Structure 1
């Protein structure tokens, strides 16, 4: 598949003049609230919503944090003597020793965990016809399991749903690798016996073509929701700057991150700090959609 490398630096400068005319005179607009955002969604003021998510939305589902000493997964990986935790996603290290990655893959492979309220909230936006696109840093597949269709999903760091031989580039369905990975073996190509790697984007690899749909998605978005991400890994992190200045941005997160940590936040930035699930629930309650979301979760979980 076609891939490109690209740097997102100061991308918000492309839209800097938008939405700041009040600085030239007039009354500054009133700071928006969570209730304002909820009302805008409920009344369909926002119909092209872009959502950005990271690992924080999946920890309530029980996804282990491989970076945290004391977690079972971290301890299991120590037998491989990783030079540093992130080496598990370094393509050069993978080519030298793929075993640590496949130990992690065994834990994270889609089907081991279930989506939670944060995933289903995004699915609810899709069902209402208001989701333009979901951009995720996660590789756990929970967005797909929640019923968000691939055309509405940008898996910025790759996916387990497909895989490719690292030698001859033969492509495989991700599910074909599952039995071997669950058995603790490294999958090998049936054609050349090379190692088959799930299409996860490693450090040192180029981004998938689908990532660049941001060039058309973000300029037309009318609401940006950011959940469960530290906004530290580029170029994903810079996407938070890519909506027009007039577009509201909602952060539901444990900590202040990225543009939301600025000393001069936009008047239409809304911040809901604390537990992700609690924050999503507060938004959904304010939208008067609690029963609708609960019904969606119940019906979807019965099918998993």
Structure 2
């Protein structure tokens, strides 16, 4: 059975109304201060940063977002016989799963914004529940188990990726026959290195992204068309 690995980045979700980070209209370019809200050291040290971060989470477009045609095409490919599909995503929006990808076939490298975790006792709970507390007037809700600082269950700047998740992603990259990097600048390590690992192990590397990436020279095919139409066409061709 052919193994197709898909590494997805923020560009995959822009058609769903979730802005990317580093593109021409990206979040970090529009508001460099916003980066502090997702930087672990700032977040842990400053209650004001945490209050702003909770407001950012409350107002996130993720809660209104629906999977787009690209998410749907990935889920559709997974349902076809003869093709094993694994998604390795840098996104934290959960849209691959909402589109129908089985949870066990989606590796969330940077965690998920749909849960919160205590930085002290590591208890996890639903983001929706924490946001209800914010709506009720708690500016910086604390863990109900131990009173520790809560954060979204995402990997912030300054935090390591989960080594188990990363090891599994590397195994998938090495085993894949086709590796598609879509909507990612391939600038954030170690996620970006997966494209190189796949190519080194003989995978056909396809890059679908509006901007050039550091791995373009290794690619068997570069696609600069809009992801919402280009990825479904590419996956139909693969199927």
- Report the TM-score range of the alignment, normalised by the length of the smaller protein: 0.7 to 0.9
TM-score relative to the length of structure 2: 0.84
- Give, in angstroms, the shift of residue 109 of structure 1: 6.7
Q: Structure 2: how far apart are the matches of 1:91 and 1:147?
A: 32
Q: Is the deviation greater in 54-63 or in 143-152?
A: 143-152
Q: Matched residue of 2:2: which SS?
A: coil
Q: State how many pairs are aligned.
A: 232
Q: Structure 2: how far apart are the matches of 1:182 and 1:284?
A: 42
- Give, in angstroms, the shift of residue 70 of structure 1: 8.2
Task: Give structure 2 stretches of 5+ with no counterpart.
Answer: none
Structure having greater relative contact order (Cα 8 Å, sep ≥ 6) = 1
Q: Matched residue of 1:255: which SS?
A: coil
Q: How does 1:84-233 map to 2 (within 5 A)?
A: 84-95=33-44, 96=46, 97-108=49-60, 110-129=62-81, 130-181=83-134, 185-208=139-162, 209-233=164-188
Question: Greater Rg, structure 1 or structure 2?
Answer: 1
Note if contact 1:120-1:146 (Cα within 8 Å) is conserved in structure 2: yes
Q: Structure 2: how far apart are the matches of 1:194 and 1:146?
A: 34
1:209-233 deviation line (CA, Å, top 9, x unaligned): 2222023212211100111010111
Q: How does 1:27-42 map to 2 (within 5 A)?
A: none
RMSD over aligned Cα atoms: 2.9
Structure 1's 217 and 178: CA in aligned 2 closer, same or farther, altered over 3 A?
same
- Give, in angstroms, the shift of residue 111 of structure 1: 3.2
**2:215 is equivalent to residue 259 of structure 1:** yes
Structure 1's 68 and 100: CA in aligned 2 closer, same or farther, altered over 3 A?
farther
TM-score relative to the length of structure 1: 0.67
Q: Is the deviation greater in 141-150 or in 99-108?
A: 99-108
Q: Matched residue of 1:48: which SS?
A: strand
Task: Give structure 1 stretches of 5+ with no counterpart.
Answer: 1-45, 290-304
